[in-house]
Structure 1
Amino acid sequence: MNDRLRSLIDINYGTFRGFVRLMLGEAEFLSGRLRTFVELRPDRVNRLVFVCLGNINRSAFAGVIADTLGVRTISIGLSTTTGARAFETAVETAPIYGHDLSAHKATDFSDYVFVPGDLLLVMEVRHASELIRRGIPPDAIALLGHWSRPHRIHIHDPHLLSDRYFRTCFSILHSAVVNLVDELRSANSPCVKP
């Protein structure tokens, strides 16, 4: 792979694997197989639950954005240690978008209790499958990247990747959360704080 292509992949997708997973996810989306995970029922959403693996980068940042926008929200990780702090690069990147992750503490899925009205927003298709395996109803799960501009069904994990990809990832997350919250607010969803 030449240097220019490597740089483009690094900035936009994090890794070649991130690019491939995005393309596979977008193909699944276009085929209609992900329809369940992109349909929103605003009147049934009482709380947004942002989900990723470690709850120290993606879901932590998305949760802070949503909280700032006045939405009932929490964030969790599928495989983390409750109490873990946000990753250093995430803490350093968040202020670029006007947010602070320095006080964030991770929550593991095992310490989360599903409540009807929770909308679990995942970063990757495989996260949706894992939540279903763990007993979360499919209609309570959505792919957060569906609301990002540009559209990103797969939001690749920036952990231990370049600072440039961290900025790209956080930009995608920011776009997705803002667009999702705008849609929920327009529909008078109960997750929006009065």
Structure 2
Amino acid sequence: MTAPYRISFICTGNICRSPMGEVVLRQLIADAGLADRFEVTSRGTGGWHQGDPADPRTLAALAARGYDGATHRAAQLTDADIRDHDLLIALARDHERALLDRGADPDRVALLTTWDPDQPSDPDVFDPYYSDADAFDTVLTQVERSAAAVLEQLRASRRH
């Protein structure tokens, strides 16, 4: 048996955008019957919220669409995360830069919007932290459509 392919979503504090990516992709993978082949986590570039649950607005947006983010606890990105993950999905260009500045292999780092079928003009997923609940819903929509495309690419590239 081969080790699971490890994916991590990276944002700033690991309480809004990256937990959405983690929860959504993990659920899509489970629904596809592939949970044994992939491991999905999320991390923040900063440690301000380490150990905290996701933002209540993140949890509400996820729950409204049938996702369960209740077990999420914020974690700060470590060198081991950078070394041990096969794919590091940055939610914005500053997260991508932080990963590369810390020595991440550029071939294992990508912006989430790379997969967004709507191809937004802004390559950064908007940070809803200082916004209202509607902004969280908008971000979740973008995360869902992008995560679905991530899964399709993973399925295609990981077939044996």
Which range, TM-score by smaller chain? 0.7 to 0.9
Indicate how the Cα distance of structure 1 residues 57 and 176 shifts in structure 2: closer, same or farther if over 3 A, else same: same
For these two proteins, the number of residue pairs brought into alignment is: 146
Q: Which letter maps to 1:101? A: G
Of 61-70 and 113-122, more deviation after overlay is shown by: 113-122
- Aligned-residue CA RMSD in angstroms? 2.0
What aligned pairs does 1:81-120 form with structure 2 within 5 A after superposition? 81-110=49-78, 112-115=80-83, 118-120=86-88
Q: Out of 4, 10, 21, which is 1:62 matched to?
A: 21
Post-superposition Cα deviations, 1:119-162, rounded to whole Å, max 9, x if no partner, equal: 10001112111111112121110011121232232101111212
Distance 2:136 2:119 in 1: 17
Indicate how the Cα distance of structure 1 residues 78 and 48 shifts in structure 2: closer, same or farther if over 3 A, else same: same
What aligned pairs does 1:1-194 form with structure 2 within 5 A after superposition? 46-70=5-29, 71-80=38-47, 81-110=49-78, 112-115=80-83, 118-152=86-120, 153-188=123-158
Q: Is the 8 A contact 1:149 1:172 kept in 2?
A: no
The answer to which structure has the higher helix fraction is: 1
Larger Rg: 1
Q: For structure 2, which runs of at least 5 residues remain unmatched after alignment?
A: 30-37
**CA shift for structure 1 position 110:** 3.2
Q: Which runs of 4+ in 1 moved over 6 A?
A: none
Distance 1:69 1:57 in 2: 19
